Amino acid sequence: MRLAILDRGHRLRTRALFVLIRIVSRQPVLDAVKVALYRPDFYRAGPLTQEAMRGPSEWSVGDRELMAAYVSKVNSCQFCVAAHSATSSLWYGDDAKVAATLSNLETAPIDEPLRATLRMLGTLTREQHIDEEDIRAALAAGVTPQQIRDALAVAFAFNITDRLADVFGFEVAGQAAMMAGARHLLRRGYG
């Protein structure tokens, strides 16, 4: 991590929690967790991310994790691609579907509304904005306005997280640690 405070600057009780996580999970604490718990009075995206990723929605948890992975791929954020493709794969019970979506959205074995939504989020993330044409294309594929709103919230959360991950230099941990993180996100969420 590029800022030492994000590795070692936490409050005493947060540092104690990190020790506990290392003992219980027998894995290192992921950099995403370190940043999420650094100065929460200043930066606390957990409640918003929790609502976007686990709040009531017509999108499944797996779909939203796939959106997070896809947005992260467009942002070239390796840490978040690894974390959220693992989480999405675990939820779907289908690694191949997630890998295919990240490899080629147009040929991936997913429903058309999800494909159209990912396409829209990809444009938003790449171009920094979308317009009415992008929205109409999603609606024409059967996506509801509320699903669009929910998907935009997911993209918002990850367009913040991806940037922090890359600027602060999150390290992609070993596969066992990333899988432990994915299991935690499915069990406990982001709160």
89 versus 173: smaller Cβ distance to other proteins? 89
Would you tell me which residues interact with other proteins (CB under 8 A)?
Answer: 2-6, 9, 38-39, 41-45, 47-48, 51-52, 54-58, 60-62, 75-78, 90-93, 120, 124-125, 128-132, 134-136, 139, 145-146, 148-150, 152-153, 155-157, 159-160, 162-169, 186-187, 189
- Min dist CB 168 to other proteins, Å, is 7
- Min dist CB 18 to other proteins, Å, is 18
Per-residue tokens: 66 = 């796939």
- Min dist CB 173 to other proteins, Å, is 18
Burial-class residue 21 by CB neighbours within 10 Å (0-12, 13-18, 19+): middle
15 versus 54: smaller Cβ distance to other proteins? 54
The distance of Cα 144 from the centroid of its chain, to the nearest Å, equals: 22
Crossing angle for the helix pair 175-187 and 78-92, to the nearest 10 degrees: 60
DSSP per-residue string spanning 2-25: --HHHHH---HHHHHHHHHHHHHH
69 versus 107: smaller Cβ distance to other proteins? 69
90 versus 108: smaller Cβ distance to other proteins? 90
Residues whose CB is less than 8 angstroms from the CB of residue 169 and which lie 6 or more positions away in sequence, other chains included: 1, 2, 31
What φ, ψ does residue 125 adopt, rounded to 5°? -75, -40
108 versus 124: smaller Cβ distance to other proteins? 124
**CA 154 – CA 84 distance, rounded (Å):** 12
- Min dist CB 145 to other proteins, Å, is 6
